[in-house]
Chains A and B, each alone.
Chain A
Amino acid sequence: MGNVFALRLASLSTRCSPCQNRSTSTSTSSIINSTQAPLSTQEIASSSSSSSSAALNLLSSFSPPSSAYVHLPFCRRRCFYCDFPVVAVGERSEASKPYYDSTMLNYVDLVCREISATARGSPGGPLNTIFFGGGTPSLLPPYLLHRILDCLQSNFGLSSQMEISIEMDPGTFNGASLSELIDYGVNRVSVGVQSFNEKLLKACGRAHSLKDVYDAIEIIHSSSLDHWSLDLIASLPFLTPDLWMHSLTEAVEASPTHISVYDLQIEEGTKFGKWYASGQHPLPCEDDSAEFYRTASRKLREGGYDHYEVSNYAKTGYQCKHNLVYWRNLPYYAFGLGSTSYVERRRFSRPRKMKAYAAFVDDFEKAEGKVDFPEDSIEERILDTIMLSLRLAQGLNLREFAQLYGRSVTVAFCRGLQQFVESGHVKLLDIDGKDVGNHECHERHGIQWDVVERREETIYMRSFQTDPEAISCKPLRTKIASDWQALFGQDLPSFLKPDTVFVRLSDPEGFLLSNEIISSLFSAMSIVK
């Protein structure tokens, strides 16, 4: 869609309560467990730690992915802020049709070849989530999308509770094309609205009008689709508090199940990068854009959306399963121009230019779907865990962190945390997801424990014992406290209340300064070697 969006969000495919979800997740996982070969003893033995948790970690990042991202780079034009790998193809007209269609056909061929080769080199699946991002995926004729889905199905298999998301831009689809996509299995749509103001849409070079936006909402409402996300960009040039409030109100009025609010990033090499400097007119100043963030957080939570991730809001039960895979540092496949996969602990980015990508696919096939690329080190994984989990409202599971990475790493991490706990930018949560030492507070910080139905997730859940009975029982709380005492001994941080399990950034102040806080924590971790 040519948008800046980092996160591709989707909501749950079923409208079930967290409680129901919990039961389904357990049952699904047991099925998956039985259908897949159990982890070999060798693999477990290769883990240096004997703790079961280390074996779990081995499992989660080494197990085959069950998510896939597919990049579809075509756009009508490049938006002024966009530095994604996109291919601008203009409007599809009678004259441009042959070129248009053959370009896309060739690309889909490449992607399908990459998928097949990957399945040979790193078999996995069945897939629980698929995400079509772009570019503007909705420019792709539905039958081509169908081909990719078919290819994924035949190579990896699809699970029954599948979440299939696609990004769509207003003005690039109609009722017919949407229902065709739904027929193929798409059950979540993410609409790149960006703003409810004509002037702002123009100012950032969007290819659609405000009328297209309302039409798109109308089309979705009259379809059978009930999980959809609406994307907004905050801090666009010329944005005022009133205009922002208007966009938020209209977004809530459209009643999507999920809303993403991204902050405009000025990137080098884009038109905006050439025209504007951060914090200077016509871009909003730092204070204003901080205020936009706070307003969004307040307004959307009031509208019934949980602020479950720095830039993402969802109605209960509608978090995007696919994006949670990213934040939980779980493996995922990626296919297509410029996309990045995380398979077998390797983060691999594909070429961003079409020619280079085509050459890559040739070589990749010859290499039987293997890339020669180093595995992430344990240090990198620690940093990934910190960076990713702190973006979530659920935060970082400190107990699991300590079990996985050991005492000295945890001590250093807690030293880094200290000042932010004191300043209120970091909050401590108990096993229930409630503020530590405040059992009366029933605000659950938008945490939904069991949204991803996967084997790893289930084990992950089990490792922090989310059984409601167990949570409230006193002996467990006592155990947590004594575990901390045993781990830290003399170094027990003063801020660490006995029943602390999670640490999270506060909303909105902690989220607003997430870079500052995370980079400070990175810096604190560099002491440990």
Chain B
Amino acid sequence: MVVVGMALPSTSLRPALHELAHFRNPAFSLPCVLLLQTDRNFPRHCHTSSVVCLAGTGSSTFRCRGLPPGAVEAKEDLESVDNRKEHAIKNGADRLQKVPVSRIRNFSIIAHIDHGKSTLADKLLQVTGTVDIRDMKEQFLDNMDLERERGITIKLQAARMRYVSKDGQAYCLNLIDTPGHVDFSYEVSRSLAACEGALLVVDASQGVEAQTLANVYLALENNLEIIPVLNKIDLPGAEPERVCKEIEEVVGLDCSNAIFCSAKEGVGIHNILEAIVQMVPAPKNTTQDPLRALIFDSYYDPYRGVIAYFRVVDGILKQGDSVQFMVYEVDEIGVLSPAQMPVNELFAGEVGYLAASIRSVADARVGDTITHSAKAARKALPGYQEATPMVFCGLFPVDADQFAELRDALEKLQLNDAALKFEPETSSAMGFGFRCGFLGLLHMEIVQERLEREYNLNLITTAPSVVYRVILVDNSMVECSNPSELPDPGGRKEINEPYVKIDMMTPKDYIGPLMELAQERRGEFKEMKYITENRASLVYELPLAEMVGDFFDQLKSRTKGYASMEYSLIGYRKSDLVKLDVMINGECVEPLSAIVHREKAYSVGRALTQKLKELIPRQLFKIPIQACIGAKVIASEAISAMRKDVLAKCYGGDITRKKKLLKKQAEGKKRMKSVGRVEVPQDAFMAVLKLEKQVV
């Protein structure tokens, strides 16, 4: 094995050697030879993993450390070292250089959550020299704190890379990273529409999961070329061949060209890049046509106005062009790589961003078409199907003065998150706030957290609800997403609730627990099939309301994390539903009202009052908590009065410690909402979500 190193800064030499050690094949007793050449032109951003690739390509075959012998061998073609060096120079540094449309490749990475999508994106950025090693950090494209903390991708991100292929040509690759969680499939569909191809990343040990399927179908809908990639082949439990078979059987995708890789160890990355170049079609060359660019994302920058991310579909967009969503002059256009880098023009097929001092959020909506003012395209692009919120909840500022701030924050977030819907809501208990619609529970949590963190708001979220359709006695229909607005029993004829078809995939050992879970949630069994010998797919139809709570958590915990799920809305069905109200200290607390199935009302009422008793701290007086249907009390509890809260300690006249404690206590009170005379902490309003599984 011959390893070639260049004039590496001494700091990167050590990690380079370390990485090389990974590829030393114990089967060969040949030692690694490290040639150090003094080549001053060697680009600094050519970092350790590039060296690894150089090393790899110099040999005929190498094996990954940690793999059982014979498990998998990553093959790379022999190529001259000099040629590689040339590539390294050109990669990355020249990524703003134009290439003909025929050498543009726009692609996404789609995967089930945790199958290594972000790690693979990181590696692609590194190998192509797009991101300097000094700036590299894990989950590079997930630049929200929240994304890093949770290890998930929430927002799509774009990155332009330059790659010189084996054919000696330089290609411009646009990667659009996408979220993996089912709640964010809307984000996925948007990025897919801006691409011609997709890498389907599947964990080589876990195999096909529910969202793998969902995302593949989205990609197929958009006529994308799909390249199967088997990731994590370095893990001891990896069975890429078996998983290939699984993909062929379940998804119906030809896996003869599937690429085996380990994004973490940097194995197979070049093969992926080559496959993108060879398999993903180039965009249609419509440079001559009038400009049409599709906005796939946008956000608000306080200094530059609205920044739109778009894909040029037809024509050319130049800096200084007058464009219209309305009429704006383009201040700056550029590419995302992944940081914004200004360029002068963008052709059909390219992906970029634009700043035009757009003041109003409404002027640059995701899905809008950008065209030239002078030579407008005749027809707008189809745009996107609007995302339908599935789950609704009330968001109220703890401090009523923050209402205006909350509205501004929601407007700005909406620009960045097209699936978020909101309208003003007033409640006697909570004051002014908003009824907000979300794609799912995770989406709701994320939005709440972003509002609190990025906009410094202090919020109370009410329990999530779905949209009910109520048929009134006069046969007219009203939609109701807020339990407190449910028409009176006298005025309504029936209530219909949304149902979803839910597809769960699980190792066969957990079929029982999952069936039990679905049964508890009023699920109707549809079918069960074995995907492989050991894995089954379970299909149920169940009310969406039963799924928005902790269903997903339950699914994970009852299957030790092995099961995955996917769902889609299938329509409305009539159900025997009642409104359950909660009275605290004799006052009905609207945000705690819930619409529940009549058969479950008693157990939910009991559990809810018990939970509230736990969550609401003792106060100066006794507080009765009751759950009622109409005027009928079906469960009740009481919080006994606080007995004693006295602190005697102030030794030697040191009042500072005591004061600190009192201030802390006062701070806690600020985070509570007064309901009549009772102070209720924020999490109590989500109590219904925290009920024990057996009750709901």
Tell me if B620 is interfacial: C-beta within 8 Å of chain A: yes
C-alpha gap A71/B651 in the complex (Å): 10
B650 touches A286 (CB 8 A): no
Contact of B651 among A5, A423, A515 (CB under 8 A): A5
The yes or no answer to A319 lying at the interface (CB within 8 A) is: no
Which chain A positions have C-beta within 8 A of B662?
Answer: 387, 515, 518-519, 522
Shortest C-beta distance, A143 to chain B (Å), equals 23
For residue A512, which residues in chain B have a CB less than 8 angstroms away from its CB? 643-646
Does A448 make an interface contact (CB < 8 A)? no
Residues of B within 8 A of A326 (CB): 650, 653, 655
Closest Cβ–Cβ distance, residue A334 to chain B (whole Å): 6
Q: Report chain B residues within 8 Å CB of A7.
A: 648, 650-651
Task: Indicate if the CB atoms of A265 and B648 lie closer than 8 Å.
Answer: yes
Q: B125-169 interface mask toward A, CB cutoff 8 Å, 1 = contact, 0 = none? A: 000000000000000000000000000000000000000000000
Evaluate contact between B655 and A515: CB separation under 8 angstroms.
Answer: no
A318 within 8 Å of B (CB atoms): no
List chain A residues, Cβ under 8 A from B642.
513, 516
- Residue among B648, B649, B654 with the highest chain A CB neighbour number at 10 A: B648
Residues of B within 8 A of A332 (CB): 653
Interchain CA distance A511-B646 in the complex, whole Å: 7
- Given A265-B649, A310-B648, A512-B644, residue A519 in contact with residue B654 (CB < 8 A): no
Binds B, one of A10-18, A108-116, A287-295, A469-477: A287-295
Is the Cβ of A523 less than 8 Å from the Cβ of B648?
no
A8 to chain B, nearest CB (A): 7
Which A residues are CB-close (under 8 A) to B653? 8, 69, 325-326, 332, 334, 339-342
A351-381 Cβ-contact flags toward B at 8 Å (1 or 0):
0000000000000000000000000000000
Give bound CA distance, A133 to B645, whole Å: 26
Query: Could you mark each residue 338-362 of chain B with 1 if its beta carbon is under 8 Å from any beta carbon of chain A, else 0?
Result: 0000000000000000000000000
A37 at the interface (CB under 8 A from B): no
User: Does A26 have its Cβ within 8 Å of any Cβ on chain B?
Assistant: no
Answer whether residue B574 sits at the interface, using C-beta atoms and an 8 A cutoff: no
**Roughly how many angstroms separate A433 CA and B571 CA in the complex, as a whole number?**
72
Give the residues in chain B near A526, CB-CB below 8 Å: 666, 670
CB proximity of B27 to chain A, nearest CB, Å: 57
The residue among A71, A341, A387 with the most chain B CB atoms within 10 A of its own CB is A387
In the complex, how many angstroms separate the beta carbon of A282 from the nearest chain B beta carbon? 18
Residues in chain B near residue A511, CB distance under 8 A: 646
Which residues of B have CB within 8 Å of A349? Answer: 654, 656
Q: Decide if B677 is an interface residue (CB 8 Å cutoff).
A: yes
Beta-carbon contact of B645 and A514 below 8 Å: yes
Q: Verify B666–A293 contact, CB threshold 8 A.
A: no
Contact with A along B647-673 (1 / 0, CB 8 A): 111111111101101110111011000
Size band of the B side of the interface? 20 to 34
Residues of A within 8 A of B530 (CB): none
B646/A310 in contact, CB under 8 A: yes
- Please determine whether A347 and B655 come into contact, CB atoms closer than 8 angstroms: yes
**Residue in B643, B646, B649, B655 whose Cβ sees the most chain A Cβ within 10 Å:** B646
A4 at interface (Cβ–Cβ under 8 A)?
yes
- Nearest chain B CB to A170 CB, angstrom units: 20
**Do B644 and A6 have beta carbons less than 8 Å apart?**
no
B655 touches A4 (CB 8 A): no
A425 to B646, CA, bound (A): 13
Using known A-B contacts A423-B620, A526-B666, determine if residue A338 contacts B644 with beta carbons closer than 8 Å. no
Contacting B at CB under 8 A, from A401-436, are 419-420, 423, 425
Asked, given contacts A339-B652, A339-B654, A384-B659, whether A513 binds B677 with beta carbons under 8 Å apart, the answer is no
CB nearest neighbor in A for B656: A347
Pairwise interchain contact A334-B646, C-beta atoms closer than 8 A: no
A262 at the interface (CB under 8 A from B): yes
Contact with B along A244-268 (1 / 0, CB 8 A): 0000000000000000001101000
- The distance in angstroms between the C-alpha atoms of A514 and B646, with both chains bound, is 5
| Interface residue from A293, A383, A419, A518 paired with B677 (Cβ < 8 Å) | A419
Most buried by A among B652, B653, B658, B677: B652
A423 cross-chain contacts in B, Cβ below 8 A: 620-621
A134 to B666 Cα, complex, angstroms = 31
- Which partner residue on chain A sits nearest B665 by CB separation? A519
- Give CA–CA (A479, B494) in the complex, Å: 67
Residue A522 contacts which of B621, B647, B666, B677 (CB distance < 8 angstroms)? B666
Known: A69-B653, A286-B643, A347-B656. A520 touches B648 (CB 8 A): no
Q: Which residues from A are CB-within-8-Å of B621?
A: 423
Q: Does A194 make an interface contact (CB < 8 A)?
A: no
Of the candidates A133, A286, A387, the one whose C-beta lies within 8 Å of that of B644 is A286
* Given contact pairs A419-B677, A519-B669, A526-B670, A384 touches B655 in the complex (Cβ within 8 A): yes
Closest residue to B650 on the A side, CB-wise?
Answer: A6
Chain B residues with Cβ below 8 Å from A515 are 645-647, 661-662, 665
Query: Residues of A with Cβ closer than 8 Å to B?
Result: 4-8, 69, 71, 84, 133, 262-263, 265, 286-287, 289-290, 293, 310-311, 325-326, 332, 334, 338-342, 347, 349, 383-384, 387-388, 419-420, 423, 425, 511-516, 518-520, 522-523, 526
Q: List 9 A-B contacts (CB under 8 A).
A: A7-B648, A286-B643, A286-B644, A326-B650, A340-B654, A342-B653, A387-B655, A515-B665, A516-B620
- Measured CB to CB, the residues of B under 8 A from A are 620-621, 642-656, 658-659, 661-663, 665-667, 669-670, 677
Beyond A6-B658, A522-B665, list 20 extra A-B contacts (CB 8 Å): A6-B648, A69-B652, A265-B647, A265-B648, A290-B644, A311-B648, A339-B653, A340-B655, A340-B656, A383-B663, A388-B655, A423-B621, A512-B643, A512-B646, A515-B661, A516-B620, A519-B662, A519-B665, A522-B666, A523-B670
